[in-house]
Amino acid sequence: MQPLTDQLLHCTLPDLPLPAALHPRWLAEGVLELRPEHARRAVVVSAGIHGNETAPVELLLALVAAIGAGTLCPATDLLLVFGNLPAMRANRRYLHHDMNRLFGGRHRTAPRSHEATRAAELEAVTAAFFEHTTAPAGERWHLDMHTAIRGSLYPQFALVPFHAHAYSPAFFDLLAAAELDAVVQHTQVGGTFSHFVSEQFQAQSVTLELGKARPFGQNDLPQFAPTGRAIRALITGAPLPERQKPPVHHFTVAESIIKTSEQFTLNLPNEAENFTCLPPGYEIAAQPDRRWVVSDTARHILFPNAGVATGLRAGMLLAPGAPRLSLSE
C-alpha cells in the first residue's frame, strides 16, 4: 500500500498498469474511469474530498491495486475519484475552502480557489461518466467515503442526502452489509458531492463516515474491511456479505445549527462525541439573534463544530427515524 500512497502523493498514480479489457481512462488528475463490456450498473467511489481523511483514500487505493493486479474484476462502469489531491499532499482538510460545500454549482459563487476549480472539474467528469453509461437510473450508485473530525458513539455511519427520487431497498442492504452502525437522513438540500450526484443523476448516493481522521500510515485498516468487502461486492455483482453486527440505528436531521455570527457559542465540551444524547431543554448553541434548545425528540448532536466559518453549519440535531425510500412522499 505504501508505494501506491507514494505514487498518489507524487502525482504518478496514472502510471499504474490496468487491464486493457476495462478500457481505463484518466479523465482528470486522480479520476479513473473503467468500463467493462456489458455493464448494467454504474458506480462512483470517491475519497479524499477532505484531504486529511486518509483511511478512505487508502481503501480506494486498495481497490485500484486489486484491479491492477487482476484480483478484482469490475462488472460495472466504475469511476474512482481521489478528491482534493493538494490537500492530501499537505495533510490538510482543505487549502482554501471546504470543497464539500461547493458542489451543485456553488463553486461558481465561491472565491477563486483550488477547491472551487476542483469541484467544478469533478462535477464535469461525473456528468460525462453518467452520460456515457448504459446503466438505468436505478442502477446508478455513488459512495463518497470520509472520516470524521471527532469521535463517535456510532463509529461508522452513513449520511443520505435529501432526495426526491426513489432509493432502493438494495441501497440500505448495502449499508447494512458494510457493517455501518447508523444511517442519518438529511432533510434539506446541501452542497456536498453526494447530494450533487444524487440530485443531478438520480443516483443512490451517500456519504460514508468510516471513523476518525488520522494521518497516512496511522489508520487501523482492518476496521474498514467490511466496507471494502461490501464495495467489492457492489462493483463485481457478487452477493453482499452477511451483517455480523446488531441492526443499524436510523436517524433523521431535525434541525441544522447555522452559525451566522462571530459571537456564536456552542455549549459542548471538546471531547463530546457525535451522536451524544442531550437532555431536553439544554441550550446547545446561541448567537445574538437566536438560541438552539434541545427538544424532547431531537436530542442527538452530530458534527458539532463552533470553529466553522460564518454561514456554515455548526452542528445538526437528530431525531430517531426509520429510512424512507423517497422524501418526496
Instruction: Indicate whether 150 belongs to any domain.
Output: yes
Query: pLDDT band for position 7 (50/70/90)?
Result: low
Provide the grid cell at 144: 463518497
pLDDT of residue 212: 78
Instruction: Indicate whether 181 belongs to any domain.
Output: yes
Q: Please confirm, yes or no, whether 131 is among the known catalytic residues.
A: no
**Residue 18 sits in the same domain as residue 68:** yes
Mind listing the pLDDT tens digit for each residue in 292-321?
999 999 999 999 999 888 888 899 999 998
Rounded to whole angstroms, the maximal C-alpha distance in the chain is 61
Q: How far is CA 119 from CA 57, 102, 126, 216, 229, in A?
A: 18, 6, 11, 23, 28
- Non-local CB neighbours of 177 within 8 Å, separated by 6+ positions: 226, 229, 230, 233, 240, 241, 242, 243
pLDDT of residue 328: 45
Question: Is the pLDDT at 4 greater than 70, yes or no?
Answer: no
Instruction: Indicate whether 51 belongs to any domain.
Output: yes
Question: Is the pLDDT at 157 greater than 90, yes or no?
Answer: yes
**What backbone torsions phi and psi does residue 221 show, to the nearest 5 degrees?**
-65, -30
Global pTM?
0.92
Residue of 139, 179, 209, 329 marked catalytic: 209
Query: pLDDT band for position 149 (50/70/90)?
Result: confident
pLDDT of residue 148: 84
Question: Is the pLDDT at 70 greater than 70, yes or no?
Answer: yes
> Between 38 and 196, whose confidence is greater?
196
**Residue 277 sits in the same domain as residue 160:** no
250 assigned to a ligand binding site: no
pLDDT of residue 324: 62
> Between 49 and 135, whose confidence is greater?
49
The average pLDDT across 192-196 equals: 97
Domain boundary among 203, 236, 269: 236
Q: β-strand 300-302 against 313-320: which pairing, if any?
A: antiparallel
Provide the grid cell at 26: 484518466
The average pLDDT across 156-184 equals: 95
Please provide the average confidence, as pLDDT, over all residues in the chain: 90
Distance (Å, whole) CA 1 – CA 55:
12
DSSP symbols for 149-168: SS-BSSSSEEEEPP-SSPPP
Provide the grid cell at 259: 452559525
Least confident piece of the model among 6-10, 127-131, 295-299, 321-325: 6-10
Mind listing the pLDDT tens digit for each residue in 207-241?
999 987 777 777 778 888 999 999 999 999 999 99
pLDDT of residue 252: 95
pLDDT of residue 307: 87
Whole domain around residue 298: which residue ranges? 257-317
pLDDT of residue 329: 40
Question: Is the pLDDT at 141 greater than 70, yes or no?
Answer: yes
**Residue 9 sits in the same domain as residue 134:** yes
List the CATH number of the domain containing 290.
2.40.50.630
> Between 14 and 173, whose confidence is greater?
173
Query: pLDDT band for position 46 (50/70/90)?
Result: very high
50 assigned to a ligand binding site: yes
**Residue 36 sits in the same domain as residue 182:** yes
What percent of the chain is modeled with pLDDT above 70? 93
**Residue 133 sits in the same domain as residue 178:** yes
| Number of domains the chain contains | 2
Domain boundary among 175, 203, 236: 236
**Residue 227 sits in the same domain as residue 146:** yes
H helical segments located in the chain? 2-9, 54-69, 85-90, 114-131, 169-177, 193-201, 225-236
Instruction: Indicate whether 197 belongs to any domain.
Output: yes
107 assigned to a ligand binding site: no
pLDDT of residue 140: 96
Instruction: Indicate whether 64 belongs to any domain.
Output: yes
List the CATH number of the domain containing 14.
3.40.630.10
Question: Is the pLDDT at 147 greater than 60, yes or no?
Answer: yes
The average pLDDT across 67-93 equals: 94
What percent of the chain is modeled with pLDDT above 90? 74
pLDDT of residue 9: 60
Is 317 exposed, middle or buried (CB count within 10 Å of its CB: 0-12, 13-18, 19+)?
A: buried
